[in-house]
Amino acid sequence: MVSWRTYLAALSLLGALLTASHSRLLAELLAALLFALLTPEVLQLAVLALNGGWPLPDILCLKHACLETTGREYCAFYGVKVTDCRHGCYDLSEKEFFSLSTTFFHVGLVGGDAEYLLITWNQQYYVVIRACGKDPYELRRTLEKHLRRVEEALSLTGCSWERMNGQNIRRVLRPSCLVPSGRSPLRLAVAGLVLLPLALRAPFLLPVGLAGLAALLLSQGRGGYTAASGLHVYTLVSIDSFYSLASLSDILSRAKIVYSSCAKDLYLALRVRPAAPEEEQAIDTEAYRSYEVGTALEKLSLIHRSTKFFAAARRRWERREALYVVSGLLVATQSQQKILERIGLRFIRLPSALEVVS
């Protein structure tokens, strides 16, 4: 699915080409807009050119936690490993599975001042909590509070767990399926990118120069990582089932597919944050608005869009499902990615997904 940004970039390019012979200023403005719209892609290319892989910050692992320093802030990670669950998708009924699983999310992932990393790797399940702050003691209290809540949720779900030590947290955040990348021969090209607007005296290339500069800043003090041989790095772009009123048996059958075919050998990290009330409200608003506009303009595409959002809204109200904002990293083979795609998880190959575990 092509995003609105890509459409706009294509239009800008077309506009710049058409207006170049008539108005140089307008063409330059449109070109500047084009580059501004493409900044994320240029930035990613520049980062890759600089590091050979995606740069991740070094993490310092202590006895029970890992730390990452970002400017004047600390970001700390605490984690638990789920060792066993009394039941699973292999023996639960549809209702039981749905009820227990949602209990885990509703009780354990309450958010606020922390983010959760739900990591599946080699049929093991980890919950890593990440919180950032300036005061290490306050940070510790926050993480302890959230960890206890996750443990309570696991206990309600019938799962046993063990707290992870620092080394184990590091192993999960920098798994062996990600390997440090070698030095890239294109390093110098990034410096050229930064100087490009000056060298060519072309102000419309300023977004490109800024992207190069951002890439240099982002890569500072970080080592690049790339997927191990035979694997690829994917980023989660959408969860199709979000827009449908999936039945409980559908949810269970998808879980069984994940259990039997996918959970083995793949690395899936989801950064999950409970959505803010206004984000929840936005789902309902989008459903109503697109319906109203769609019916007024007799636009089937908008009415269809409304149906999709209405399904999500109904699930929130009728099934009491909580809304989360999710970003995902998948390190897997192409066939595993295809299976996940069939069950409604859309991924694209994008190395910046590694940011999920930073």
Partner 1 sequence: MTKLLDRLIIKKTYALSGDLAAFASPLAVVPPREETSGMLLGTDDLGRPVFLNPSSLPNMHGIIVGTTGSGKSTLARHLILEARDLGVSSWVIDPHGERSYARLYSRVLLLGADRINVLDTPGWKSSEFSSELARYIERVYGISGARFVLREILLKCLSRGSLSPLENLSEVPEVKRIYDDLAQIHEDSAPSVEELAASSICFTFPQMSSREFRSLAALLLLMLLQGYRRTLGESHRFEHMVVLEEAHYLAPYLLHLYQQTRKWGYSVIAVTQLPRELDPKLYQLAGFVVALSGPESYVNDISLLFSLTRDERDHILYKPRGAALLVRQGDPRPRKLFLKLRREAFPEA
Length of the chain: 358
Least gap, CB of 20 to partner 1 (angstroms): 29
| Closer residue to partner 1, CB minimum distance, 291 or 324 | 324
Assign residue 118 a region (left: φ > 0; alpha: ψ between -120 and 50; beta: otherwise).
beta
Least gap, CB of 104 to partner 1 (angstroms): 6
Least gap, CB of 326 to partner 1 (angstroms): 5
Least gap, CB of 289 to partner 1 (angstroms): 16
| Closer residue to partner 1, CB minimum distance, 32 or 92 | 92
| Closer residue to partner 1, CB minimum distance, 61 or 246 | 246
Q: Which helix (H) or strand (E) holds 48?
A: helix 39-51
Least gap, CB of 112 to partner 1 (angstroms): 17
| Closer residue to partner 1, CB minimum distance, 73 or 135 | 73
Q: Which residues contact 265 (CB under 8 A, 6 or more apart)?
A: 122, 332, 333, 336
Distance CA 219, CA 194 (A): 14
Q: Exposed, middle or buried, 4 (CB in 10 Å: 0-12/13-18/19+)?
A: exposed
| Closer residue to partner 1, CB minimum distance, 27 or 49 | 49
Least gap, CB of 101 to partner 1 (angstroms): 4
| Closer residue to partner 1, CB minimum distance, 19 or 44 | 44
What's at 112, amino acid-wise? G
User: What is the per-residue DSSP string for 233-299?
Assistant: EEEEEEEGGGGS---HHHHHHHHHHIIIIITTT-EEEEEEEEPPHHHHHHHHHHHHHHHHHHHHHT-
